Amino acid sequence: LLFQVLTEREEKTAIAIASNEPFSGWTKTFTDPRLCAAIVDRLTYDATIIETGTTSYRLAHTRAGGANSSRPGGAKSS
């Protein structure tokens, strides 16, 4: 589905995507290597890539086991 959205929007409008994972790690999410390469190719063609070099508070909080502690009643978000 993401590939279809990228293809339809290609060279027509801007797309902004944020990720804590470098492109080399995207194969964890997109397990088909050809599909992963095609998505990265579409995203990076004529793109401006901004690397902030910062770490994610949410990811660190989740890994520490506190993902639900900040929500009232320990409710999970959907």
**Is 39 within the bounds of a domain?**
yes
In a domain, 51, yes or no: yes
Contacts of residues 20-28 at CB distance under 8 Å and 24 or more positions apart, as own/partner, are 20/55, 20/56, 20/59
Confidence band of 75 (pLDDT split at 50, 70, 90): low
**Host domain of residue 55:** 2-63
Q: How many CB atoms lie within 10 A of CB 74?
A: 9
| Count of structural domains, the chain | 1
Residue 78 has a pLDDT of: 47
The answer as to whether 56 is a domain residue is: yes
pLDDT, mean over the chain: 80
Please give the distance of CA 68 from its chain centroid, rounded to a whole number.
21
Whole-prediction pTM: 0.59
Q: What is the C-alpha radius of gyration for the chain, rounded to an integer number of angstroms?
A: 16
71 located within any domain = no
